Amino acid sequence: MAHLMTVQLLLLVMWMAECAQSRATRARTELLNVCMDAKHHK
């Protein structure tokens, strides 16, 4: 039982890390797009 909980917890942590990473990547991409637009429209 404890082993099953450990596996579930590990999967949850991995999933959260994956979500946080993809969100950070998306935010960085949006920021880059905004910067590119600002340079382009000068």
Q: What is the pLDDT of residue 23?
A: 93
Taking only the tens place, the pLDDT of each residue in 1-42 is 788 899 999 999 999 999 999 999 999 999 999 988 888 766
Distances (CA, A) of 36 to 3, 14, 21, 22, 33: 49, 33, 22, 21, 5
Cα–Cα distance measured from residue 27 to residue 42, given in angstroms and rounded to the nearest whole number: 23
Q: What is the pLDDT of residue 39?
A: 80
Q: What is the pLDDT of residue 42?
A: 63
Cα–Cα distance measured from residue 38 to residue 42, given in angstroms and rounded to the nearest whole number: 6
